Amino acid sequence: MSAPAAATAFRPAAELQAAARGLALTARQLVEGAMAGLHPSRQPGLAREFSQYRAYQPGDEPRHIDWKLFARSDRYFVRESEIETAVALRLVLDATESMRQTDVAGGLTKFEAARQLAAAFAWIAQGQGDAVGLHAISSTHPLTLPASAHRRPFERVVHALAGLVPGGHWPARLPLITPARRELVVVLTDGHERSGEIRAALAPLQAREHELLFVHLLTREELEFPARGALRFEEWETGAALELDSSAVRTAYLAAHERHLRAWRQAWSSDRFHYAAVSIDEPLAPSLRRLLRRRARQLPGR
């Protein structure tokens, strides 16, 4: 997937810089709110503050040996917090037309929620020295930033995020990710697809040792369907319209939506694939905190 120059050319330079500064500030505040009360993680990667030992192996740096522990046990151990455990973070951001949907109660679009969460993840990763890459998925303005830990990746990612405008649909054929090195892939999407193209794009990850956090962004209206009376329903990405009595279809809609959510949960919940539904009418900091805690609990060995 290429990164056309037009992908970030939606705003004048001054406006783009202001938007990037605002997004950067929001991300920092979001992370501060999410990290409050978090217990230290004992896993490498996102939000790690851990200290654990393992037996010395050929190739480990001698300077990482805990000599005090050697004196007590007469065995060589190294502290994993001092070993290179960086995990590249790859952000996959759904930038399709359906992400323009706004939560009526919260006033936030799915895309803005996804953008804020993406920036927050990038801020956490930069603080840990992890490489950060970004894929913005759209049939109209796709964008790719290769994973990099150099030159403050947070600023690089935030500047790209600030210039994005959602549009189009998720491409039917998308050779997305088959990285050679171990990565944590965070997918931020509303899960809207025509014929399984999101699942198809992410499927290669299941055959490898990468970790995936699937963040499913939803509005309160989708979850509860509070509408009453005659309404016109329009599909975001095709424009197809349907006029129905909302009261008459509410029960069927809620049942179908629950099946839809169950299918995503069953498809992606495992030791290395974590599914999390986020209702964007709620504050994002607690949602981010729950995401990090849930991931920590689901990782192997916890």
Do 28 and 136 sit in the same domain of this protein? yes
Label residue 8 by pLDDT band (50, 70, 90): very low
Residue 47, domain member (yes or no): no
pLDDT at site 179: 58
Do 65 and 130 sit in the same domain of this protein? no
The percent of residues above 90 in pLDDT, for the chain, comes to 34
Give the whole-angstrom CA distance, residue 29 versus residue 23: 10
Q: How many domains does the chain have?
A: 2
The tokens for 203 are 């499927």
Give phi and psi for 125, each to the nearest 5: -65, -40
Residue 76, domain member (yes or no): yes
Do 71 and 154 sit in the same domain of this protein? no
> Can you give the pTM of this predicted structure?
0.79
Do 106 and 64 sit in the same domain of this protein? no
Give the whole-angstrom CA distance, residue 181 versus residue 204: 14
Do 20 and 69 sit in the same domain of this protein? no
For residue 200, the domain's CATH number is: 3.40.50.410
Contact 43, 37 (CB under 8 A): no
Do 145 and 247 sit in the same domain of this protein? yes
The percent of residues above 70 in pLDDT, for the chain, comes to 76
Do 104 and 195 sit in the same domain of this protein? yes
User: How large is the average pLDDT for residues 233-243?
Assistant: 83
pLDDT at site 52: 57
User: How large is the average pLDDT for residues 90-102?
Assistant: 95
Do 192 and 172 sit in the same domain of this protein? yes
Residue 98, domain member (yes or no): yes
Query: Which range, 31-45, 141-155, 190-204, 287-301, has the best average confidence (pLDDT)?
Result: 190-204
pLDDT at site 59: 57
Q: What is the CA radius of gyration of the chain?
A: 21
Residue 48, domain member (yes or no): no
Do 68 and 171 sit in the same domain of this protein? no
Query: Which range, 127-131, 176-180, 279-283, has the best average confidence (pLDDT)?
Result: 279-283
Residue 21, domain member (yes or no): yes
Residue 44, domain member (yes or no): no
Query: Which range, 26-40, 110-124, 144-158, has the best average confidence (pLDDT)?
Result: 110-124
Residue 94, domain member (yes or no): yes
Instruction: Please say if the pLDDT value at position 110 is more than 90.
Output: yes
Contact 154, 134 (CB under 8 A): no
Question: Which residues, in sequence order, are CB contacts of 301 under 8 Å at separation 6+?
Answer: 43
Do 60 and 190 sit in the same domain of this protein? no
Reduce the DSSP state of residue 90 to 3 states and report it: strand
What integer best gives the mean pLDDT of the chain? Answer: 80
Query: Which range, 5-19, 31-45, 131-145, has the best average confidence (pLDDT)?
Result: 131-145
Do 61 and 153 sit in the same domain of this protein? no
pLDDT in tens, 149-191: 666 889 999 999 999 999 999 988 776 555 556 788 999 999 9
Residue span of the structural domain in which 62 resides: 53-82
Do 138 and 64 sit in the same domain of this protein? no
More confident residue, 34 or 26: 26
Residue 154, domain member (yes or no): yes
pLDDT at site 46: 59
More confident residue, 68 or 155: 155
Question: Which residues, in sequence order, are CB contacts of 69 under 8 Å at separation 6+?
Answer: 53, 75, 77
pLDDT at site 205: 73
